A and B are shown apart, each in its own frame.
Chain A
Amino acid sequence: AQSVAQPEDPVNVAEGNPLTVKCTYSVSGNPYLFWYVQYPNRGLQFLLKYITGDNLVKGSYGFEAEFNKSQTSFHLKKPSALVSDSALYFCAVRDGTSGTYKYIFGTGTRLKVLA
């Protein structure tokens, strides 16, 4: 079965410092991995995805993520955090070889960037 794990504890980081939001996954086939961001009272917005190829994926708003197959991880990173990055971040996975149309989401990690 597919699953995604994200830390429940909030991530606090000072503005200007690098940030990392962790995600680990479990699928039986090839993973398709996604990161989304949710601002208060809004729907989720797509940030980036990994399908195949280069393990470092670049996305919107200066975010990037590193796919690590051996550690089954897909951590979200940004070199220099902004206060406006404060939001709820979701990792999602889809099994690329199962034929399913389903995406499985993690429980979300709240990021707070302190001025």
Chain B
Amino acid sequence: DAGITQSPRHKVTETGTPVTLRCHQTENHRYMYWYRQDPGHGLRLIHYSYGVKDTDKGEVSDGYSVSRSKTEDFLLTLESATSSQTSVYFCAISASSGGTYNEQFFGPGTRLTVL
């Protein structure tokens, strides 16, 4: 398995609290992504990064922010959690070598419940 870890793996929080999810990779890959997975919606891109301090929005970025200060870490923050953000969150990475069409490798996921 690619060297990707996510923490925490499970979290229960209350509406209105800030939450930070961490993705850590040991592959030195350039691109990192945050997705959420919900029944009937598949995987939807929240934010992605194409280098240190270089990030951009995905299709469901409202209410989320990200930061990448090191190649290996990509943080996803829910500024003020809402029940609609209850989901399973996946981090993914992909390499830049060999072109811009490399496959992604996924972390194990974080199950977040907002009460």
Q: Which of B12-20, B65-73, B79-87, B98-106 contacts A (4 or more CB under 8 A)?
A: B98-106
A34 within 8 A of B: yes
Contact with B along A85-101 (1 / 0, CB 8 A): 00000101010100001
Count A/B pairs, Cβ under 8 Å. 59
Contact B100 A101 (CB under 8 A): yes
Closest to B44 in A: A105
Number of A interface residues in the complex (CB < 8 A): 25
Say what secondary structure dominates the interface of chain B.
Answer: strand
Are B103 and A101 in contact (CB-based, < 8 A)?
Answer: no
Closest chain A residue to B111, Cβ basis: A41
Inside 8 A of A108's CB, which chain B residues have their CB? 42-43
Say if the beta carbon of B31 comes within 8 Å of chain A: yes
Pick the interface stretch among A11-19, A44-52, A69-77: A44-52
How far apart sit A107 and B44, CA to CA, in the bound complex (Å)?
9
Q: How far is the CB of B104 from chain A (nearest CB, A)?
A: 6
Cα–Cα, bound, A96→B45 (Å)? 18
Interface size bracket, B side? 20 to 34
Contact: A49 with B101, CB < 8 Å? Answer: yes
B7-62: which have CB < 8 Å to A?
31, 33, 35, 40-45, 48, 50, 56, 58
Residues of A near B48 (CB, < 8 A) are: 101-102
Question: Shortest Cβ distance from A12 into chain B, in angstroms?
Answer: 19
Chain A residue nearest to B102 in the complex (CB):
A49
User: Which single residue of chain A is at the shortest CB-CB distance from B48?
Assistant: A101
CB-based contact A43/B107 at 8 Å: yes
Give complex CA distance A96, B102 in Å: 11
Query: Given the complex of chains A and B, what is the CA–CA distance between A102 and B48 in angstroms?
Result: 8
Query: Are A94 and B101 interface neighbours, CB within 8 A?
Result: yes
Q: List B contacts of A46 (CB < 8 A).
A: 103-105
| Residues on A facing B (Cβ under 8 Å) | 6, 8, 32, 34, 36, 41-46, 49, 51, 90, 92, 94, 96, 101-108
Known: A41-B109, A45-B106, A101-B31. 6 other contacts (CB 8 A): A32-B101, A34-B104, A43-B109, A46-B104, A101-B56, A107-B40
